[in-house]
Structure formats: structure tokens, C-alpha cells
């Protein structure tokens, strides 16, 4: 007997057939490894030998017996605390400037956006040269323009994090494009009404622009936190052959996780580190949503 399907059933069948490669890939290459890493986090596993169940030993060692874990957390937290807000302020400032009617506007927008599409390794190598204390461009400009001797940057412990924060400003082009789109979606009648009420440019920006683009700021803030907490490429390329020097000042969490997994082959411990990072990101994201619920304006309501 021939099975007859309705049009909606045919459409549903076609949908599931077309989406099935993605579903299989998601289950096999993402969910599967995630669940496996959760199991490995409770085991001693060095790839060569089968995993051995050790319970919470990895987590106990992490929190109570591993000072490098806290150092990596400190480095990553400090970098996130500095780089994310500065990146938002800088990219929003550029977006406001590039939202004005100025000559060659499209050229300036392209210039500021292009650096964000360059690969992380190439950018890291470029900044290694720029931050070189002897012949680097930044110290040269400091010496020529201001007559001061620049710091040793990546070779000096106190200046390592500022070096990475300065480098992070290179990639504000991605957020810049998002802010430009948000600024252009703000209704002009709101600005006109504010001008009729005598509001200055600063008050129009503070009371009209910021509330209207606050959902976009929240989005870039959350994605910025997630990205900065997973910093790896820059740390690996620029920190003493991936060792996190000098004196572990550039030991980012992602780099420390990589060291345990692929240098020391402590896959169980590295899996525990990864799950702690996942919980930290989940906690900070949830906390950000909760704290921002009364400060973010949505056109359709809060």
C-alpha cells in the first residue's frame, strides 16, 4: 500500500532530511566531546592509557593545590575587566564619529573595520614587533613625540596585561559595525523632540542614544566577556613560546588549559579546567542579564 503524505508532512520530512547533517555533526562533534570531557574531568587520563576514575581529585587539586590555576584566573579576570569596557567605549566612540556626515565616510569605516578581519596569529606577530622595547613602533613614537622612554611591555611583568589590553583595541571593528547599525536605527523624531525641548548634544546622546542602543551594548558586553575569558592565540604566540612568561604574567586561563592538555597530557585535569571555565562564563552571563534587566530598554517593553 502506497503511503500518502500531506504537503505539511512532506515539508517537515524535507526539513529534517536537510537539517540532519548539521544535527549529526552537532551531536558527534560538539555534544559528544563535551559529555566525554565531563567524564574525563573526574578521571586521570593521559591519552596513552585508559582513563582512571579519581572522583573530585582534579577539582580539589585545582582549588586547593594549584597556585597556577589562581594565577591564570587572576590574569584572565584582570584582562577581561580592563579590555571589555575599554573596547565598548572605544568602539562606540568611533561609531558615533563615523555616524556623522563627513567626507570619505565609507573609506574611514573600511579602514577601522579591516583590522578586525585579520587572523589572530598575524595580528599577534605584528604587535610583537610594535611592542618591542628596542625597535618597536610604539616606543619609537613615545620617544619622538613625547620624549619619554617607553616600557618593556611584554618583557615586564606589570606591563604585560596593559600590552594585551592595548592590542585588544585593534579588533574593535566588529563591534563598530554593530554599533553603526544600531545608531542608524534610532528614530530621528526622538532627536527632534529632544532638540525642541532644549536638550544639548550630550543630553541627547545620554538620554536618547544610549537607551535606544542599550540592547546592542548588552550583546557586545556579553560576547566580549565570553571572548576575553577564552583568550588563547595572543597569549600563546606572544608569551615566551606559550609558557606564560615573564613570571606567569601572561598565563591566561586558555593557555594554562592548553598546557595541561597538550604539553603535560593531563587531559583529565584540563577537562576539569574547561568545565570550571564554562561555569564561570555561565555565571557571569546570567549575572549580567539579571543586573541589566532594569537598565536595558527594549522597544517592545522590558
Q: 88, 217 in Cβ contact below 8 A?
A: yes
33 DSSP assignment:
H
Instruction: Report the alpha-carbon angle 123-124-130, nearest 5.
Output: 90
- What mean pLDDT comes out for the span 181-209? 90
Q: How do 43-44 and 52-53 pair as beta strands?
A: antiparallel
For the chain, domains (ranges, CATH) are: 60-292 (1.10.3720.10)
Give me the pLDDT at residue 299, please: 65
242 pLDDT tier (thresholds 50, 70, 90) = confident
Give me the pLDDT at residue 105, please: 83
Q: How confident is the model over 248-287, as pLDDT tens digits?
A: 999 999 999 999 999 999 999 999 999 999 999 999 999 9
Q: How far is CA 250 from the centre of its chain?
A: 17
Give me the pLDDT at residue 295, please: 81
In the block, residue with C-alpha cell 551594548: 217
- What mean pLDDT comes out for the span 2-16? 80
Q: How many helices (H) and strands (E) does the chain have?
A: 15, 2
Q: How far is CA 78 from the centre of its chain?
A: 14
65 pLDDT tier (thresholds 50, 70, 90) = very high
Q: 289, 214 in Cβ contact below 8 A?
A: no
Give me the pLDDT at residue 17, please: 93
Q: Which residues of 42-71 are buried (b: 16+ CB within 10 A; e: fewer)?
A: bbbbeeeeebeeeeebbbeebeeebeebeb
Which residues, in sequence order, are CB contacts of 224 under 8 Å at separation 6+?
83, 84, 87, 88, 175
Amino acid at each position: 500500500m502506497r503511503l500518502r503524505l500531506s504537503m505539511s508532512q512532506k515539508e517537515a520530512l524535507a526539513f529534517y532530511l536537510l537539517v540532519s547533517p548539521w544535527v549529526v555533526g552537532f551531536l558527534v562533534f560538539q555534544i559528544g566531546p563535551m559529555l566525554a570531557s565531563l567524564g574525563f574531568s573526574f578521571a586521570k587520563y593521559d591519552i596513552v592509557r585508559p582513563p582512571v576514575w579519581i572522583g573530585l581529585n582534579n577539582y580539589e587539586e585545582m582549588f586547593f593545590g594549584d597556585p597556577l590555576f589562581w594565577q591564570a584566573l587572576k590574569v584572565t579576570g584582570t584582562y577581561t575587566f580592563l579590555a571589555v569596557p575599554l573596547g565598548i567605549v572605544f568602539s562606540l566612540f568611533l561609531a558615533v564619529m563615523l555616524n556623522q556626515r563627513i567626507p570619505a565616510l565609507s573609506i574611514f569605516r573600511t579602514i577601522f573595520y579591516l583590522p578586525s578581519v585579520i587572523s589572530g596569529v598575524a595580528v599577534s606577530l605584528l604587535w610583537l614587533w610594535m611592542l618591542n622595547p628596542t625597535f618597536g613602533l610604539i616606543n619609537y613614537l613615545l620617544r619622538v613625540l613625547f620624549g619619554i622612554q617607553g616600557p618593556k611591555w611584554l618583557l615586564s611583568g606589570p606591563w604585560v596585561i596593559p600590552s594585551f589590553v592595548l592590542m585588544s583595541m585593534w579588533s574593535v571593528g566588529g563591534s563598530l559595525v554593530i554599533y553603526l547599525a544600531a545608531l542608524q536605527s534610532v528614530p530621528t523624531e526622538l532627536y527632534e523632540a529632544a532638540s525642541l525641548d532644549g536638550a544639548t548634544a550630550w543630553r541627547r546622546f545620554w538620554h536618547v542614544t544610549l537607551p535606544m542602543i542599550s540592547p546592542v551594548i548588552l550583546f557586545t558586553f556579553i560576547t566580549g566577556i565570553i571572548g576575553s575569558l577564552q583568550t588563547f592565540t595572543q597569549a600563546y604566540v606572544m608569551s615566551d613560546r606559550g609558557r606564560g612568561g615573564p613570571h606567569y604574567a601572561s598565563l591566561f586561563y586558555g593557555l594554562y588549559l592548553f598546557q595541561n592538555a597538550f604539553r603535560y597530557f593531563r587531559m583529565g585535569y584540563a577537562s576539569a579546567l574547561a568545565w570550571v571555565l564554562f561555569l564561570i562564563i555561565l555565571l557571569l552571563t546570567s549575572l549580567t542579564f539579571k543586573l541589566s534587566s532594569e537598565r536595558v530598554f527594549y522597544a517592545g517593553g522590558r
